[in-house]
Chain A
Amino acid sequence: MKEINVQEAFLEAGYQISPEAVKLIVSHSSPKDLVCYILEHIDESVFVIEIEHIDLPSFESEYPTSQKADSGTTSEASSHPGSQISQNSEVTSVEAPVNPVVSASPSFSSPSGYGTDRSLNTSIHANSNSKGNVNGNNISIMSDITDMSTCVGEYMEFVQYFRNRYSKLSDMIRGRITARPIESLNRNRKHGGGLKRSGGGDYSEVSIIGMVSEVRSTANGHKMLQLEDPTGSFLVLVHQAEKDLFEEASKIILDEVIGITGSLTNDGSLIVAKKIILPDLPNISHRREGTWGKAVFTSDVHIGSSTFLEEEWCSFLDFLNGKCDNDQMKELSKDIRFLVIAGDLVDGIGIFPGQEHELDILDIYDQYAKAAEYFSQVPEHIQIIISPGNHDAVRQAEPQPRFPERITSLFEDRITFVGNPALVDLDGVQVLMYHGRSIDDLVASIPGVSYQEPEKAMIEMLKRRHLSPIYGSRVSIAPEKQDHFVIDPIPDILHCGHVHTIGIGRYKNVLAINSGTWQSQTEFQKMVNVMPTPAQVPIVDLSTLRTTLLHF
């Protein structure tokens, strides 16, 4: 039984299920029975099924025989025919986005076993006529805030939100260092003399894990960090002389969670850092096998804006329909299974002062109606997934839920709407969609990260295992119980937009795509001297994660 199937089973029964719980079930010898058992026994008040709701001992005592039935076949092996596609884990480089001549792309050769795929393709068609993904073919939403927002705007919610971030991210670091609670350092200081007396020998080597609450430069040019955990806060000094470390420290941003190993000063008032540990992606991670076909990633369509590039957009739609002169392109379009849009579908209204002068469509619902018209032209074999951005008509505070009923009802049923951020599984390839508001903050805070290369900002997200670490700057947050920005599980593809420049990069087996825009340079961009790269679309081969860039 595949993860998706497990999720669907629970979704149909009206439950959400945490990825951990899914893993647990899938790894069990008889997942199907386990699912049934859980559904029978689950307390109705539970909304999200977590690991603790899965009572394995009692299940196994009740179904002692089931183990035999499924034994031998692992859940992985019993999956799709799509997995026959050869693995391509050696893919390392991405086509240079600067020189994306489509016709020269080597990824045009169709994968072996194309015929099989074809037949399956049609079966998707049949299924997708009914209500999209729920009926379960190949898109599943693994996490999304929609209808799960619990925030009511109280102080403790903010605290809980950050505690949740701390606990999730510190767990990732904890495996690598033996950290102590910060309070224990303070206590030692109060008693005077730091750890000198108690420890003996190399007494002063300590490790802590904390959320950065302040970064500043001292008069002598060192970096001073304030780290905080749920027990207290402590100062960490990064010495200027430690070149590499200092370089690392200059990239530290507010509100990220890091581990520090270092030595306490004599008076016990601060730690002099020797090592900085980020949550980061694991160095060795098994690659999921991927699936067949291709996915198209785009964002920031800005329908309704007077700078929306309608002509280019329409030729993109033509391409999806296989209507193009170039045969290779035609072939390519046949392969496309998914169209993923990471926010700013329309230009919206009232997003910035004086926007009404830059709009062709002044009515927000007309903007979406226009969008719906465009998407109705997309051939039915292509699954469409849309998440909102800061121009869309959902709450500005992130995480954002999917579009409201009034807007989704304008569209055909086959379109899947998700929140922002959202983790979706495209037939085995997991895509983390995030509009990318936080890139603004990352560009402003991390040296070397710029709007011209947004993928660098996205890689910084991956290193921090967090989509939007900085609080209180450009990103509005809604204090939800869970920190939806934590990157866990690790996706195959991280997809952002927002900055209107194409960027494609790879970091430890994760493909980072910033998918550009369909809007030419706006007044605001003119003012701040940002050159967008509009009407360029990355297409990813889902079996190899090899990326091609198309120009329209």
Chain B
Amino acid sequence: MAEIVASKEMQEYFNTLESTLKKEIEIVNNARSKGKDPKPHVEIPLAKDLADRVENLIGVKGVAELIRKLEETRSREEAALALGREVAQGKVGTFDSKSDAIEAAIRVSVAMLTEGVVAAPIEGIDRAGIGKNDDGSEYVSIFYAGPIRSAGGTAQALSVLVGDYVRRGVGIDRYKPRKEEVERYIEEIMLYKRVASLQYTPSEEEIRLIVENCPICIDGEPTEAEEVEGHRNLDRIGTNRVRGGMALVLAEGLALKAPKIQKHVKKLKIDGWEWLDQLITGTKSAADDSGEEKKEEKPRIKPKDKYMRDLIAGRPVFSHPSRPGGFRLRYGRSRNTSFAAAGINPSGMIVMDDFIAPGTQLKVERPGKAAGMAPVDSIEGPTVKLRSGDVVRIDRIDEAYNLRQEVEEIIDIGEILINYGDFLENNHPLAPSPYCFEWWIQEYRKAGGDQSVDEEDLKDPSQDVALDISKKYGVALHPKFTYLWHDIENDKFEQLADFISENGILESERTVLRLPYDAALSSGVKRTLELLLVLHKISGGMILIEEPLPFIYTLGLDDELRKKWDSLEHEEVLDNINQITEFEVRPRAPTRIGARMGRPEKSDKRKMSPAPHVLFPIAESGGNTRKLENAASFKASTNAKVGEITVEIGNRICPACGVETIEYRCDCGEYTIPKLFCPRCGISVNKKECPKCGTKTTCTSMRKIDFKSIYQKAFEKVGERDKLDSFKGVKRMMSKDMTPEPLEKGILRAKHDLFTFKDGTVRYDMSDIPLTHIRPSEIGVTCEKLKELGYEEDIYGKPLTDPEQVLCLKVQDLVISYDCADYLLRTMQYIDDLFVKYYKVDPYYNAKTRDDTVGILLMGLAPHTSAGVLGRLVGFTTAAVGYAHPFFHAAKRRNCDGDEDCVMLLMDGLLNFSREYLPDKRGGKMDAPLVLTTRLDPSEVDKEAHNIDVCESYPLEFYEATQRIANPKEFEDTFDLISSRLGTPLQYEKFMFTHDTSNIAAGPLKSAYKTLGSMVEKMDAQLELGKKIRAVDASDVAERVLISHFLPDMFGNLRAFSRQGTRCVKCGAKYRRPPLTGSCQKCGGRVILTVHEGAVKKYFEVSMKVAEEYNVSSYTKQRIELIGYDMKSLFENDRSKQMGLSDFM
């Protein structure tokens, strides 16, 4: 395979990881050969690169080599197409039938297109089939399933092209649809859009064009309960229900990504796809229209309120769209932002009532839809008005804690740090940059400013220095003294200048300006100062403004506070200022970014519900809590044997001694095989299909097992006493053969208070946040330990000696939350216990304290994917997030916009994971480590990561270009992006950032959303915060919450109440309608409603209250009122009402 290009140190790093991994695999192989695991060896194949991953994921031998060969000369997409063809032609792998070969070919191609990570190729494609055209020829149909969604539009569309390419290779004709089939597609896609949703809905003509011309029949399995109303019972379409996978591939794939397919069609010169031209020109004309609109006016950043949609109670709005007082955009990247994560000053998190914590997702106005939040304290914090009338900016977190009780209004919520790469990735025009220090200093240097002056001094100059520099070098006024002039109108400006001229007193060597407080307040001048973010204090009835000279000059006043001008000529205040002052003043906050809370951060163990310790089925014998102890003492009837339970379980047989068992391994040491039988004929056959009737055979049946003895034996074997607080199993196995895990594993898990997931692993979920650099001090690890782990030098090449030095994080290293570390520590102890007590081998970790976890190997795995990524633990953070290198997140196919995924102990995965436990249903193979990526190649991670900028500063031209709202693509080639470093050793090293942060864990530990109790409490807090923030209209928030959360909830529950199903409390049987007998038809148990009066009414009172208090629109008020009447009519008896109290007296 092609070696990854990396420096010697990085190669060493990878080698260390891999050798440790190999060692661990050996240990596990040895252990597994001794226990009762499904297989005597590790079940997660390793993949060094994409080729390996594809081969392991799909399981066609020889594919990896072919991929490597094809990739030498072709692009990824071309290689994928060629690969499909070669597989179909049988160059690699062996298949029983033509359709099997086609199916495999399509799968490998899609796998390759999706980097071999997501589950789409295995779960999203059900099968490929061959059907008959009306003229007798054959055609290929591909059956898509719901999870094809995870492949993304391009890969979905290309999978169809692959199908076509492949069918030509094996000589099958095209699909010739019947007329009614075409109409069926139209009806079905429209229906799918109604019941689910589509990013893009093609018009009827587009659908007709696609279906009539597409050479492959796009079919699918039914995913929705809805059925089409017309076009039912068609010969060649197996279902009347809606096929979600089909709709996705056709609409979001073929229709939306037509230009991309066309590119490949042209390159490969495939005929029969000429209709794409028509599809593209058809859709293009619409695009042209919008293009013309743009030309008419000069580029402008318009407010977007999409992020405000579907507001939920308890998740506050921090700023309305582009509103003064909202987040001020600042360009740059800190070591814990980029890749859809943005930074704000942690004091802002505190001041905004703790709603934002590191890792909290914010829905933002731009550039993307959402962003994970990270603390960056080198940017400006919020500016607040205190109860005393003082206006202060809070940049330091200790100040924030001191002052938070005093805050009367949050005039400005501070800056938000967003990197250029995120604008590039989202293809969002560059919004005008504020005049900030990074820009100013470049102009200063360009103007020939004194290079010897320390940068720190220039960051925070005195008023005299700032004015001197402006005068001497002709650079614009320093950002420190630039106020938000664009937020006020000319009349306010004039009033302010006059007021200061008349009432101002300049004293203490012109370092303090005093203004009379009462007059300033009543005239509105005080408010103007607040809006300008001119900081001031109130003392002795006077407003004190420190370092006022630049401010005074900007107002066009002289040292004696005399006004030097008479009238204002321009419309814009800033234009006027630049006319009357001697220095240039730039816009300080031209771009504001609206935001609201998305979902809270997460750092918690993964638990199924109810959370089992072991995958062992006990049906109802353990009660609702699934307690194994109860099952062990269960008695079916008074005379029944204690601990004998009836469960659905797989039957296995030992090929050596013929003993039947439920375990993977016979006591004689031989591995057992499922004892298959036909569920229809009842005959026992060792084949997948019944030879008599063709039904699929199974080994599962309802059987009585002596659970008590299994239970007792297991405890005996591991030498533990039956003293566990809680020890739970599952109701029913979801796997195909329904063979349970060894109970011993569960005992030890329960002992260490660990829960298992559906595949036998122990997992911990955390919000993803990127991290490119660490300081030893902040991650709780000593320099010595880090040196052991290969961290020799800091970013400046100095040897690591001081815990405050900044180090470049290695790509597969992780910084996790303390809670996660503790959970992993317990997992390590559990693994050791398993080794010693169950497998009877030596312990591996011998871990006692949290510090022992540093350096252990982990596996990262994201939902909807099937490939784990090897990682290593290097440190801890108090923040409730999983910090890792952006490449690591990208390798899992995640960005950092507030999503979460899991880590697990590598050893746990190796030892306890088995495909045999995976649910035998659609989607069952998702979120399972079917392969493990051992070495992270930046070229093979999600391409989004290639747009991360890693430079130390942004060029002057960049800041200037933002003023004309340039397209980010202009800078794609000049910026220091990952994409420019690919294939060189620098792809792993020497990353930089523009803004530092002193602590990656600063800010609240948990979002207030998680600490507040009821929904009503959350809503109250949300509205209280809304009232405090200037950029938020609390009554609009209230109305939106009512409209998008409470009203639909009440409305929906009312509907649900009147259409509800019922449920038996005893056996859980569900009824669409209450049985006429009144009680459960299956067990005679009591049947109850599933929707209760309380659920319907729960938000009514708070809705009424909020509607009144925040004076929402009368429309919304009336809606609430009507719902109230509706509830009353439904839940109150008219006739008991008529009988008043007096009737009883």
A residues lining the B interface (CB < 8 Å): 47, 147-156, 158-159, 162-163, 166, 211, 213, 228-233, 254-255, 349-350, 353, 356, 362-365, 393-397, 401, 404, 443-444, 471-473, 475-478, 527-528
Interface status of B1122 (Cβ within 8 A of chain A): yes
Say whether B1122 contacts A159, CB under 8 Å. no
Residue in contact with B1133 in the complex, picked from A150, A353, A395, A477, CB distance below 8 Å: A150
Q: CA of A452 to CA of B910 in the docked complex: distance in angstroms?
A: 63
Partner of B1115, one of A166, A228, A363, A401: A363
Which residue in chain A gives the minimum CB-CB distance to B1061? A472
Q: How far is the CA of A386 from the CA of B1115 in the complex (A)?
A: 25
Contact with A along B1109-1145 (1 / 0, CB 8 A): 0000011001100110110011111111010000000
Inter-subunit contact B1073/A393 (CB<8 Å): no
- Indicate which residue in B229, B1058, B1088 contacts A397 across the interface (CB closer than 8 Å): B1058
Interface contact A255-B1054, CB-CB below 8 Å: no
Q: In chain A, what residue has the closest Cβ to B1059?
A: A472
The answer to whether A395 and B1087 touch (CB under 8 A), given A148-B1134, A477-B1058, is no
Measured in the bound complex, the distance between the Cα atoms of B190 and A353 in whole Å is 19
CB distance B1058 to A364 under 8 Å?
no
**Cβ–Cβ contact B1072 & A232, under 8 A:** no
Q: A149-B1133, A476-B1054 are in contact. Are A471 and B1072 (CB under 8 A)?
A: yes
Could you say which residues of chain A place their CB within 8 Å of the CB of B1058? Answer: 396-397, 476-478
Residue of A nearest to B1048 (CB): A353
Closest Cβ–Cβ distance, residue B27 to chain A (whole Å): 51
Residues of A within 8 A of B1076 (CB): 159, 162-163, 166, 211, 228-230
Q: Could you tell me the distance between the alpha carbons of A527 and B1075 in the complex, rounded to whole angstroms?
A: 37
Complex contacts, A356 vs chain B, CB 8 Å = 1115
Note all chain B residues with C-beta closer than 8 A to A393.
1122, 1125
B414 CB to nearest A CB, Å? 35
* Distance of A132 Cα from B651 Cα, bound (Å): 77
CA–CA, A362 to B1089, complex, Å? Answer: 36
A156 touches B1078 (CB 8 A): yes
List residues of B whose CB falls within 8 A of some A CB: 190, 194, 229, 1047-1048, 1051, 1054-1055, 1057-1062, 1071-1078, 1081, 1087-1089, 1093, 1114-1115, 1118-1119, 1122-1123, 1125-1126, 1129-1136, 1138
- Known A230-B1077, A395-B1125, A397-B1058: A151·B1130 in contact at CB below 8 Å: yes
State the CA gap A444–B240 with chains docked (Å). Answer: 13
Contact B1133 A396 (CB under 8 A): no
Are B1125 and A350 closer than 8 Å at their CB atoms? no
3 A-B pairs with the lowest CB-CB distances in the bound complex, closest first: A476-B1058, A350-B1119, A395-B1129
- Measured CB to CB, the nearest residue on chain A to B1129 is A395
Q: For the complex, what is the distance from the CA of A472 to the CA of B229, rounded to whole Å?
A: 19
Most B CB within 10 A of own CB, among A147, A148, A443, A472: A472
Query: Smallest Cβ distance from A382 to chain B, in angstroms?
Result: 30
Closest partner residue, chain B, to A226 (CB atom): B1081
- Residues of chain B contacted by A148 (CB below 8 angstroms): 1134-1135
Question: Which residues of the other chain, B, contact A156 by a CB distance below 8 angstroms?
Answer: 1078
**Which B residues are CB-close (under 8 A) to A159?**
1074-1076, 1078
Q: Which residues of B lie under 8 Å from residue A404 when comparing CB positions?
A: 1125
A350 and B1130 in contact (CB under 8 A), knowing A153-B1057, A155-B1089, A232-B1077?
Answer: no
Contact among B1054, B1088, B1123, B1130 for A155, CB-based, below 8 A: B1088
Q: Within the complex, what minimum Cβ distance (angstroms) separates B740 from chain A?
A: 31
State the Cβ distance, B226 to closest chain A Cβ, in Å.
9
Q: When A233-B1075, A471-B1072 are in contact, do A476 and B1118 touch as well, CB less than 8 Å?
A: no
Residues of chain B contacted by A396 (CB below 8 angstroms): 1054-1055, 1058, 1126
Query: Among the listed B194, B1089, B1126, which residue makes an inter-chain contact with A158, where contact means beta carbons less than 8 Å apart?
Result: B1089
Residue of A229, A254, A473 touching B1059 (CB-CB under 8 A)? A473
Q: Which of B1047, B1075, B1130 contacts A478 (CB 8 A)?
A: B1130
A-B contact pairs, 22 of them (CB 8 A): A151-B1130, A153-B1131, A162-B1073, A162-B1076, A211-B1076, A213-B1075, A228-B1077, A229-B1076, A231-B1077, A232-B1077, A232-B1081, A255-B1073, A350-B1122, A365-B1118, A394-B1129, A395-B1125, A443-B229, A472-B1072, A472-B1073, A476-B1054, A476-B1055, A476-B1058
Chain A residue numbers with a CB within 8 Å of B1055 are 396, 476
Q: Could you say which of A163, A350, A443, A527 contacts B1047, with CB atoms under 8 Å apart?
A: A350
Residue of B nearest to A392 (CB): B1122
Contacts of A444 in B (CB 8 A): 229
Q: With A158-B1074, A473-B1059, A477-B1059 known to touch, is A397 a contact of B1115 (CB < 8 Å)?
A: no
What residues on B are CB-neighbors of A229 within 8 Å? 1076
Query: A495 to B1088, alpha carbons, bound, how many Å?
Result: 36
Q: Which residues of B contact A473 (CB under 8 A)?
A: 1059
Complex CA gap A350/B1039 in Å reads 14
Using Cβ atoms and an 8 Å threshold, which residues of chain B touch A166? 1076
| Interchain CB contact under 8 A, B1060 and A472 | yes
* Bound complex: CA A148 to CA B1136 (Å): 10
Instruction: Look across to chain A and name the residue whose beta carbon is closest to the beta carbon of B1138.
Output: A147
Say yes or no: B1077 contacts A158, CB within 8 Å. no
